[in-house]
Structure 1
């Protein structure tokens, strides 16, 4: 009897011990998992700008437009919001700049949703500099007040332009079309000149090698890391020469990536601030390009690209927002005037070399990730003749 009693009691104690062990251990596992998935505050996100993916919750305080500038009214675009740990925050140093890509703009852009200011938003994305400021880019999820994440709207791709984007221009021609397009594309996020480096590494990425960019005039694929001012580096070419209107590299036309492209330093120098036309001597390191004393001819594969960038600049900068009124003309002796030629040649190139997949992707990338505006002549080539026909 005693032996049986001892035999039965030992397993019971062992079972109780196992149950006790499981009961104690389980909460530790749950606590660790919850901690790993915790949502960051804005201050925590600002201290963790190392490229990690994170979820951040904060209060919408405005629209960032530059490193130390956040609009709290009169919003100009749907492409970015600033969030903070306090709804009434006024110091940009305590704000996180959140990129709002095309998929999220209808619900989280301040131009379309001005009442969003003062509301709590949760966003998941990459913690990295934006506007040369602590930021969160390429959001994969956004929600109000930490609630359920909505499904993103598919981004328009390919040759078709967003119907809603150009709605105000539909059916117009001549001066009326020009006025409508200017009103549409002038709503944009402006970049600093330093931000242009990162933008070009994205917009001009080599489709066959994501570590490289394609140089505009040379057509060469070159490492993104070789940007700078050295002999073999690539730099930022202003297709609308910045001296034609004297806008330099200041935020605005001087940093508009719709006309800034990567180019070999020496080829960029050969082009200088010349107008565009045909003829001249061959340009070293840029097969198919020619130049003479007053003009530059790009290679055939990008003649249309050059033309459409010039036409974009003419419509975007009409002289009503503090910048020069840029306009193409038929001269190749424009000097410092806000004019660039030769218009008849540019229109011929536009027809000869229609938008290809690279140019269409570039236009889309600028719209989605950088400026929030488009080049209408990439989306609607027929509008060039409708305005300058």
Structure 2
């Protein structure tokens, strides 16, 4: 039998893996790197079988046998890949050594936006961190090619920079679900994120809310005014950091976490921000003089039509992202406009209407992408799939 000829076949690779698992002796034959690539599951079963190419999604940075960082990456020396971008179990991950020549483009500390993308690596199938692994890589590629430069790329919203649909990667565990099952899946997906400090929010908003017609300006959420990026602070005509989910609703303040989450922080005129205060959202009220198109009364705020859906989707994101873990309150939209300091914000039925009436536009989609690529590494699922709001809350 010509073992070299058949070494590249999938049947032979699987046979090697099964034999290794069962402890049956087999000839150790290098898996052909020129053949079709292995899945992560196949690579884990074929540990010790020699050289192979493996394709999987980057899920984090391994630091120990059973520990993988999903955010706050500390090193460029290793990545964990899996057959699902949202894989929760380290047992289903392959730990990949990132040697010196590949660290500038494949290390997660230097390239955090690599998480969730498909990569193909070629190297030796052998234990790494006392875990199924691949070491001494001889080739690494992402989405079929070398990764483009992080700060300058402008991927199409809804797809990865390489053109891979997020439904097959980032949202793989959520697609096809509804109700509580969808909610749980989305929470697990978007909770994997990097955090920013409240000081870093200033610089982040200058990028996330940049005026597409004037790169030196930001667009203010409620007023819609384009204002110079450097005119920010606490003076009446400055812009400052508006918490769309009012930070007093749940009393989380500005500490790192919900208080600094860019998916609900927006630039706004200091005076308008002050007038909105911590009011809930609803239709009606009198016109806001400093921000035409907005309306307010004693307990609610109605934003201008162009951002009604934006506001709704930010509130929905916060409700799914912050479910009471990590010491944070369990945030939830409800039907009240008098929630005080309780971790609720209304009015849910109106927010659902706004979500339908004002679908995501190019500005909102770009903002979601910039937060994902450059700052937090997580997405607002309701920008990518506005219909998921109804699938979770009805209406």
Indicate whether 1:289 and 2:288 are aligned. Answer: no
Change (3 A) 1:280 1:139: closer
Match of 2:146 in 1: 152
Change (3 A) 1:207 1:333: same
Match of 2:327 in 1: 322
Indicate whether 1:379 and 2:378 are aligned. Answer: no
| CA deviation string 1:95-148 (max 9, x = no partner) | xxxxx9xxxxx9xxxx998846885466559xxxxxxxxx968999xx999987
Change (3 A) 1:278 1:139: closer
Size of the alignment, in residue pairs? Answer: 289
Change (3 A) 1:255 1:175: same
* Partner SS for 2:353: helix
Indicate whether 1:245 and 2:250 are aligned. Answer: yes
Q: Which stretches in structure 1 are left out of the alignment for 5+ residues?
A: 1-61, 64-70, 88-99, 101-105, 126-134
Change (3 A) 1:320 1:177: same
Are the equivalent residues in 2 in contact too, given 1:245–1:326 (CA < 8 A)? yes
Match of 1:192 in 2: 197
Partner Cα distance (1:137, 1:175) in 2: 33
Are the equivalent residues in 1 in contact too, given 2:317–2:382 (CA < 8 A)? yes
Instruction: Work out which of the two has the higher radius of gyration on C-alpha atoms and give 1 or 2.
Output: 1
* Partner SS for 2:298: coil
Which of 307, 315, 326 is matched with 2:312 structurally?
A: 307
Are the equivalent residues in 1 in contact too, given 2:210–2:218 (CA < 8 A)? yes
Are the equivalent residues in 1 in contact too, given 2:334–2:347 (CA < 8 A)? yes
Indicate whether 1:77 and 2:77 are aligned. Answer: no
Which of 162, 165, 169 is matched with 2:166 structurally?
A: 162
| CA deviation string 1:130-183 (max 9, x = no partner) | xxxxx968999xx99998785435785234561211110111101111111111
Partner Cα distance (1:119, 1:159) in 2: 32
Bigger helix share: 1
Partner Cα distance (1:197, 1:367) in 2: 17
CA-atom RMSD in angstroms: 3.3
Please give the TM-score of this superposition, normalised by the length of structure 2. 0.66
| CA deviation string 1:193-235 (max 9, x = no partner) | 1111111111111111111111000101111111111111111
